[in-house]
Amino acid sequence: MSTPPAVPVSALPPYSGPDTVCPKYGTSGASTEHRIARGEIVLPWNPRMRVDGPQPERRHCRCRSCGYQWAEAPLDAALTTAVEVAC
């Protein structure tokens, strides 16, 4: 298994806390989930066709009201990025 490339987490907004607010409509309440860093996703039958780019470790949020989805940097983002770069 290969290690996904280090993607800067600094591009993500900082962790907003346990009571996060939807950045689209300002409603409160979102389901959240920790997601590990991953490499790019390609079509299984055509590896030259990229579906999505690499993603850093992140907190995936989905608004319970409108379904808007966004990602936030974990609290240890700076530490995580330093470790990934060192490997």
Residues sharing a CB contact under 8 Å with residue 69, sequence separation 6 or more, in sequence order: 60, 61, 62, 63
Q: Which of 15, 20, 40 is nearest to 31 (CA)?
A: 20
Nearer to Zn ion, 9 or 22 (CB): 22
* Among residues 16, 21, 60, 68, the one that binds Zn ion under rule CB under 5 A: 68
As measured in angstroms, the least distance from the Cβ of 73 to Zn ion is: 20
Residues 1 to 30 in contact with Zn ion, rule: CB under 5 A: 22, 24-25
**CA 19 to the chain's CA centroid:** 18
Interaction site with Zn ion (CB under 5 A): 22, 24-25, 63, 65-66, 68
